[in-house]
A and B are shown apart, each in its own frame.
Chain A
Amino acid sequence: MSAGGAGVTPRDPEPAAESTAEPAADAVEGRPAGSTWPLALAGLVVVLALAAVTRLLDKNVPGLLEGTALEDLGAAVEYPVYAIVLGLLGNAVLTATGLRDRLAGGFRTEFFIKTGLVLLGASINLKVIATAAGPAIVQAIVLISGVFLFTWWLGGRLGLDDKLRALLSAAVSICGVSAAIAAAGAVQAKREQLAYSASLVIAFALPSIFILPWLATALGLSPEVAGAWIGGNIDTTAAVTAAGTIVGEEALQVATIVKVTQNALMGVVAIALTAYFAFKIERRPDARRPGLGDLWERFPKFVLGFVAASVIATWWLSTVTADTGKATIGVANDLRVWFLILAFVSIGLEFRVASLKEAGWRPVGVFAAATVVNVLLALGLAALLFSGFSVT
């Protein structure tokens, strides 16, 4: 496909299983065409096996490397690194053996990460969520508006199709793959456009998981500012959680609150896009004004679970001794780590570069430029809004 072809070339009418672009979109969504539940179950077993190896490495490597030249490295590497690397290795093996797309029904990244985030809510005091909500909402509104409009403008300057512009703008400014899926529904995008956008999100998110924590340390950011920066900047929620984990528990809490706030605003953007395309771009005669029901339909419901877990845990901790509370919430944290590992392994298993090659340089250029703007704007906002914030 020619440069920028993602936006201008009509869709290949091949069936889903034979298209080069569609399996990527389906794999990201976790539902490859033709996949049946025994294959999905086999895929789930692969994810669980790699997660178990990840947990084993995470618990034992630091001890095994103690007293050696690699002691510092062993202590510094956290479970997201093992999980993603093992996922990518598994991806290579499954792709080489032709099994990857068949088993992809078991790679449930979205479900794993959202369940992990609901459980993470149990370790965050409701007061922290309430205190951080104000700056998180301000940051989310400024960041989403600024980055969305910049990406939309640059995509227009480079001649991208309006629907692809909408997908890229939503993906880079809100919450990655989920936002791209929501935007694709809102503007009736082609499946291949969703595949490009989703692949771009993952391609940019993977290095961010390692680069941003390193930069946060190099810049001497406090855990709270680092968390707000990571949460506002990295596109996918799973990658935000991975990077936050590498920085530390306090950074992870703030990063999650900021990201969950962005997730919550996804519905507003999806509704706005629906209305904009219906009334301004395509001028459909049957278009109707969106209502509150549409907003609720597009609201990410796991956000409610995240807040509910915090409410339940905060109340329950007030009824037991500190030692009992700490030990019990520790069990919830262990479960949370398991779900996050499952999500990170799935990210590695799902990643593919094929659709990026198809997209051409223009969507990649737009996404890269938007990411730079996102990094800088998010850093400024995080420093401004979270410099005096503390989760303790």
Chain B
Amino acid sequence: MSETEAVRREEPPAEPSGWTSAINEDWAATIVGLLLLVLVITGVIPTGLVP
């Protein structure tokens, strides 16, 4: 096994946790943002409630 291969095998790539969670945070942010907007325009969150 070459040195490069050895190094690669002991190094999990940076992608999986970071990228997967970034995708999840994308969807979470989209859902939370749109939900809050809908609550605002339907009056569930009224004017003056947000400090």
Contacts and interface: CB of A to CB of B under 8 A. Distances in A.
Interface residues of B, number: 37
B14 interface: yes
B19 A182 contact: yes
B2 interface: no
Contacts of B47: 327-328, 330-331
A304 B27 CA distance: 9
B31 to A, nearest CB: 8
Interface stretch (A71-79, A88-96, A305-313): A305-313
Identify whether the interface residues of A are mostly helix, strand, loop, or mixed.
helix
B6 to A, nearest CB: 9
A312 B38 contact: yes
Interface in B16-32: 16-19, 21-23, 25-32
Contact of B32 (A55, A115, A193): A115
Given A305-B33, A338-B50, A114 B16 contact: no
B1 interface: no
A10 B4 CA distance: 9
Contacts of B27: 301
Interface string A177-200: 010011011101111011000000
Contacts, number: 133
A11 B11 contact: yes
A10 B41 contact: no
Nearest to B28: A111
B51 A55 contact: yes
Interface in A299-355: 300-302, 304-305, 308-309, 312-313, 316, 327-332, 334-335, 338
A119 interface: yes
A193 B14 contact: yes
Nearest to A111: B25
Interface of B: 3, 7-8, 10-19, 21-23, 25-34, 36-38, 40-41, 45-47, 49-51
10 contacts: A29-B17, A115-B36, A118-B30, A118-B33, A184-B18, A185-B19, A186-B15, A309-B33, A312-B41, A328-B40
